[in-house]
Amino acid sequence: MYNSYLDISPEVKAALDAHKPVVALESTIISHGMPYPKNVETALEVERVIRENGAVPATIAIIGGRLKAGLTPEEIEYFGKKGTAIAKASRRDLAMLVARGQDGATTVTTTMMIAHMAGIRIFATGGIGGVHRGAETTMDISADLEELAHTPVMVICAGAKAILDLPLTLEYLETHGVPVLGYGTEELPAFYSRHSGLKVDYRVDSPEELANALRVQSSLGLSGGMLVTNPIPEEYAMDGKGIDEAIEKALCMMKEQGIHGKEATPFLLATVKDLTGGESLESNIRLVCNNAALAAKTAAALVGMENAD
């Protein structure tokens, strides 16, 4: 799908033209998810994990009003150094940032959109946005959920971020017809923790099964994406009670300080990191790498199936 505002890096374009596996990555995790230089180190490590598992990484961003599918190490460094000075770009921001020639860090929503424009079908991230706690009065629901309902990209994550209302997030996804798959589990992982007590729609046990599900969904002409929830590795999982206590305290602090909207998630993640002595940051890094490895294997399996057809 050609788009005059889109720049695909030479490496990513060559891979797509040769029908080789490509995995999309977001850029909000670089600018808003971690401090410098840890953000740059993590972004480069995640790209390395994707390469090691047989795919080409395509970090997505907006630079100078251009949609980018595939960043250079220098561009990743630029994003890492500018950090939160770069606008966090969701669907509603995309046209204005491009029109004004500005930079934008892509969320799950805009990463899905730009990946789809570029022809990339699999995207690895940490956790998706969802229905915020108290949404029955605030109506604070992430645009990520709506995008999953409309954009045909498979998103591989460690579940919705633990700061959210997980039961309502699952209800919203069900209403919008988004299949929620558990990789090696029937239980929805809760980002930092492997357990939530909630059930996913289907358990899937191999990258090949994931790839075939995506291939069949496309062949059936069904719109919308697929959500794959991949539990954080056991050795990096955090105690559920401890992380819940930190989240509750962070939520109280957010309410006291009047923080809401797109600033809420970065504030909560940073506060939880501080309250857990940095443990949540290390868990976040490990789960992203774990998701990247599974995404690369799934992308490779999908290309293998399609090349064999």
Q: Are strands 104-106 and 87-89 parallel, antiparallel or unpaired?
A: parallel
How far is 226 from 298, CA to CA, in rounded Å?
A: 13
The radius of gyration computed from the CA coordinates of the chain, to the nearest angstrom, equals 18
H or E element, residue 230? none
Say if CB 196 and CB 305 are below 8 A apart: no
How far is 82 from 40, CA to CA, in rounded Å?
A: 11
Amino acid identity at 184 = G
Q: Which residues are catalytic?
A: 26, 161
- Reference 293, options 101, 109, 52, 68; nearest CA is 52
H or E element, residue 197? none
What the block records as the tokens of 307 is 């090349």
Task: Read off φ and ψ for residue 58, nearest 5 degrees.
Answer: -135, 90
Instruction: Give the 3-state secondary structure of residue 159.
Output: coil
In the numeric block, the tokens 């669907």 are attached to 91
Handedness of CA 87, 117, 109, 281 (dihedral sign): negative
How far is 125 from 90, CA to CA, in rounded Å?
A: 15
Say if CB 127 and CB 190 are below 8 A apart: no
